[in-house]
Amino acid sequence: MTDDVLSLTLDLLRRPSVTPHDDGCQDRLRQELEPAGFTCTDLPFGPEGARVSNLWALRQGPRDGPVVVFAGHTDVVPTGDAARWASPPFEPQVRDGVLYARGAADMKTSIAAMTLAARDFVREHPDHRGSIGFLITSDEEGPSVDGTVQVVRWLQEQGQRLDCCIVGEPSSTARLGDIIKNGRRGSLSGRLVVHGVQGHVAYPHLARNPIHDVAPALAELTRTVWDGGNAHFPPTTFQISNIHGGTGATNVIPGELVIDFNFRFSTESTPESLKTRTLALLDQHPIQYDLAWNLSGLPFLTPPGPLVDALSAAIQAETGVTPELSTSGGTSDGRFIARICPQVVEFGPINATIHKIDEQVAVADLAPLKAIYQRTLVSLLA
């Protein structure tokens, strides 16, 4: 069982599919899915020259039942300095039982495992209930504007129902199966532009320093308790990610300061409440400013139920591990799928090396990962 997953994983890893490029990965998946009875639809979106590859594949069983979807991305982040890798990042190598390559953990191993799990499930259960779907994009690691979010809109237009979705993101931490992500926090970003008056540092009375003006407000923002979280989500956090101000000269008071910040918020807060509280706080200080907002995702949560229970039981059967449910971490394409699918979880290999040099996955985890996905299908559709 390891050999077939390893073979497909290696094939995908050899393709340098840095966002938004797919480099033939999705065509390779079609080669496995179409003979198993999947109808595959290519859904390219985006401008010419930066076109995003999206694949929707569906196999409808002969009996009524839920629509269970596997989701993932074939794109990977840039490698950084390839000379710092122990082996070329797009020439996968197995050393001492470990597979090294860009995308090994995030997330071509998951895509290979779920594809072959579905193929083998169909072979063993050709008269299965419900339907099995695949939603694969090459725009998850980038701006995420022409990938899953566009496919979700298309599915809505087609009237396609989704009941359960497993996103193959690397969710495990210490060992395969220890974490299922059953939700994610929302993400709200802001760009604050504080206006001052440029001048000479020796004549501050003729200028107004926006850095000095906003400093007390920033200190207050960082100290604010936005909410206390709840049983499913940690408290909402506020973080400043970038500050840009000044001309580069040491004797010039800047005329403007640009601050980028982000909220990762729980279901105890809303985008509207965070915006309102932020504006109220800023207005208590003598500053002139403009503030633009960008909401990139709402929080979602899948409580224990058919999908969580089936996946948890499959993990226990294959690994002996009792998984913990978690909503920690960043955003994923699950935030888009949750708009049309009531049960969305993330499960995949260990995430310790994702986006790092010498990204890796244990070869011994490949067969159990495929088996977990396949057992989950058996529980939900057989």
In whole angstroms, what is the distance from residue 188 CA to residue 238 CA? 10
Q: At what angle do helices 109-124 and 366-381 cross, to 10 degrees?
A: 40
- Identify the three-state secondary structure at position 120: helix
User: Measured over all CA atoms, what is the biggest interatomic distance in the chain, rounded to whole angstroms?
Assistant: 82
Residue with tokens 């390779």: 28
- Start-to-end CA distance of the chain, whole Å, equals 21
Question: What separation in angstroms does the CA of 346 have from each of 82, 103, 109, 170, 311?
Answer: 29, 17, 14, 8, 10
Beta-strand pair 164-167/343-346: parallel
For the question of residue 318 being annotated catalytic, the response is: no
Token pair of 211 as six digits = 């850095």
Residue with tokens 């800023």: 282
Peptide bond into 286 cis (omega under 30): no
Question: What separation in angstroms does the CA of 144 have from each of 165, 242, 331, 355?
Answer: 18, 21, 11, 17
Beta-strand pair 300-301/237-245: unpaired
DSSP 159: T
DSSP 358: T
Q: Exactly one of 106, 120, 140, 141 is catalytic; name it.
A: 140
Q: Which of 64, 75, 220, 96 is nearest to 140 (CA)?
A: 75
- Identify the three-state secondary structure at position 32: helix
For the question of residue 140 being annotated catalytic, the response is: yes
Q: Exactly one of 22, 23, 75, 359 is catalytic; name it.
A: 75
Is the separation of the CB atoms in 155 and 56 below 8 Å?
yes
In whole angstroms, what is the distance from residue 87 CA to residue 79 CA? 12
> How would you classify residue 49: left for phi > 0, otherwise alpha for psi between -120 and 50, otherwise beta?
left
In whole angstroms, what is the distance from residue 166 CA to residue 380 CA? 12
Q: Which residues form the catalytic set?
A: 75, 140
